Structure 1
């Protein structure tokens, strides 16, 4: 019997803490983003157990996250309702926990973890597309006469935030047909949500990629998936207005055509640029043709949010240092012919924290952000780093337009992406646990 020479393929497996955080992410995805108590408890418990198993070293990020949670508890006690502080405590916990667990992964495990995050995001995107095409009420939201994809998160803007963060992360993964398809589905999903903030946040993330990942490389990688998404969303536009009959065959054909663009554009060689220009022009023409139906989504005007912002600033002026207390940020404003309106959220998380927890709480929250950014800056140099930083910027930008920190799904995604950009040695243990 002759000697057999075999090549051993090394396999990569996620450690148990990372698997638990991924499970927390998945639980939040299927439980309406984790907004309601059952989903919040499940995702929080999974991330909490992961953090206990990971046993990270004491660090600045954990201290700042704990300070934010402690301040929320103190304000709750001062208002006589300590339970009102629990959402803030849970938010700080799942974000910091996801960061510290992801930071312990080694380089190969981080690649796998990034692939899982983008894959789950693509599934969210696809279910949102299906919901609009086949008009599934539970996974869509009707706003200003338009059917907007919400997927299982049931909130279009939160779905857009998750997809935009995953989209920029997907652009730094090793090039393959799978990653191209993933990026295409994510960008298509953002379009189906009709989220203006989602598009703005995605653009901010792409700018970060251009700066830190290389302008030419980013353009070459992003253009096919973006143009493919333009084709798919363009074919979906005739079905998005509730008053119109759905056009499922056109939408399916557009999705297939968009996928072919995303997978095949770069293979056209010297014909790629003129084809890209034609596709972009066609997308612009389609958007113009449907501009009357999409007028509310291409305008920056939002009277309700403007009224809520004015009401929030009035509350800040009354208690700028300590805030009104957690959960006490309800905003009343005059909506003209509609009378007095009330909104629970001001659709700006920085202002929301300032209202409820005052300048003390906002400084603590910004301290957490600063600690993450500083630690990520020390971790630059890996292939994943530009995408991880871009994903964090996506969430930070989008948080200025929507109430994202109230949904664990967004915080877990942001935490995982941040952890992927933390410093790491080959085994992921020596530097990855220090912030």
Structure 2
């Protein structure tokens, strides 16, 4: 899309620093997204070693990311607890580090790297589907009577964010049955998480793809995977309601049928449109038949998040410039007939930064975002550029609805996607980031 990846060299080897970044991604996926200390340490060390070996120039992204980390340390010192700044410093370092390392890869290496990212994300989708069908407690979350896929990340919304990024990158890879199959698993996995924010982020990402790569190519690439996922999810719905008995036979039949649709649809020629419409109609009927159970996920209402947002805004009003300090954002609010509730995260990373690091911190975060977007703009025209931009924008949008930056897996996949679209010397011998 924009430009389909062309012929590859006979043999493509990924540089050791890039392999270490991929190892950090895989480690974070396995270690509950890297949320807890062992996962954070492992992913951070792997990215750190990759940086030492790659020795990239920091560029604008590195400078602003470093300023954000320094401000977190200063703010922690002012609160008398510099250790509280460590998570913010690590997050800034991991994200910027991954971008800088990946930006050194040449085109053929980036194609392989993109394929690996899509493959790992597809495995997240498959394990989420398995978790729902087999009702694996540690890999699912129960919410409003529904069993939501969380995969090994154990947080449905983070799993969905990883899969959305992987799906958008898959749409610009060279077409093949494996890529189409991965896209199908990703669409199915996103649906199994029942993440409303992920759907919004995916819609925005697809819009970016349509603008940058053309809507015809985008629809042609996305339709088989989406329609195949409609079949798989329609068969999975009975297993998602906690009150109902799981239907593994139906779910497996739906997954197989969906895969057949995804792989076979492009070969139907003039019959594609009527069959696609028929499948879409079937999906609408399936959702309508489970409307009662899905009502909470189809609604935009979220009382807890609304309460936490109000508490966060009150906190900002008290300390707008400096914030309350890194790690000190806790949000208390009242729920009718339920007393006082407390939430550690406001489910909006931009507002979370404003609460903890104040306006200074938010300006620095927006500076990091601007540096990434500038780097992507300078890298336009490369084969993976459209998918890279779409994935980054989708993650930026999703971050306004969930706490994603607290999980290294999201930071790593965001860095991978951004790096795929940054300018490169193509031969990988000189740093690709020149912003």
Give the superposed CA RMSD. Answer: 1.0
Instruction: Return the alpha-carbon distance in structure 2 between the equivalents of residues 429 and 297 of structure 1.
Output: 48
Instruction: Return the alpha-carbon distance in structure 1 between the equivalents of residues 428 and 346 of structure 2.
Output: 39
- Secondary structure of 2:333's match? strand
Q: After the TM superposition, which segments of 4 or more aligned residues of structure 1 sit over 2 Å from their partners? A: 428-431
- Secondary structure of 1:294's match? helix
Instruction: Return the alpha-carbon distance in structure 2 between the equivalents of residues 147 and 135 of structure 1.
Output: 8
Q: Which residue of 1 aligns with 2:387?
A: 387
Q: Mark the runs of 5 or more structure 2 residues left unpaired by the alignment.
A: 1-7
Equivalent residues, number: 428
Answering whether residue 392 of structure 2 is matched by residue 412 of structure 1, we say no
Q: 1:378-412, CA deviations, whole angstroms, 9 ceiling, x for partnerless residues?
A: 10001200000000011101000000000000000
1:125 positional shift? 0.5
Instruction: Return the alpha-carbon distance in structure 2 between the equivalents of residues 398 and 423 of structure 1.
Output: 25
Q: 1:103-156, CA deviations, whole angstroms, 9 ceiling, x for partnerless residues?
A: 000000000000010000000110000000010111111111111000000000
Q: Which residue of 1 aligns with 2:344?
A: 344
CA contact (8 A) 2:35 2:406 kept: yes
1:9 positional shift? 6.6
- Secondary structure of 1:292's match? helix
Note the 1:415-426 alignment, pairs <5 A.
415-426=415-426
Q: 1:331-365, CA deviations, whole angstroms, 9 ceiling, x for partnerless residues?
A: 00011111100000000000000000000000001
1:58 positional shift? 3.3
CA contact (8 A) 1:423 1:431 kept: no
CA contact (8 A) 1:158 1:404 kept: yes
Instruction: Return the alpha-carbon distance in structure 1 between the equivalents of residues 184 and 61 of structure 2.
Output: 34
1:299 positional shift? 0.2
1:430 positional shift? 3.8
1:427 positional shift? 0.8
TM-score, length of structure 1 as denominator length: 0.97
Q: Mark the runs of 5 or more structure 1 residues left unpaired by the alignment.
A: 1-7
Instruction: Return the alpha-carbon distance in structure 1 between the equivalents of residues 394 and 148 of structure 2.
Output: 20
Do the aligned partners of residues 398 and 9 (structure 1) sit closer, same or farther apart at CA in structure 2, a change above 3 Å counting? closer
1:429 positional shift? 3.9
Answering whether residue 367 of structure 2 is matched by residue 367 of structure 1, we say yes
1:192 positional shift? 0.5
Q: 1:165-185, CA deviations, whole angstroms, 9 ceiling, x for partnerless residues?
A: 000100000000000000000
- Secondary structure of 1:293's match? helix
- Secondary structure of 2:172's match? coil
Q: 1:302-346, CA deviations, whole angstroms, 9 ceiling, x for partnerless residues?
A: 000000000000000000000000011000001111110000000
Instruction: Return the alpha-carbon distance in structure 2 between the equivalents of residues 58 and 190 of structure 1.
Output: 34
1:431 positional shift? 5.5
Q: 1:197-226, CA deviations, whole angstroms, 9 ceiling, x for partnerless residues?
A: 111111111111100011100011101100
- Secondary structure of 1:337's match? coil
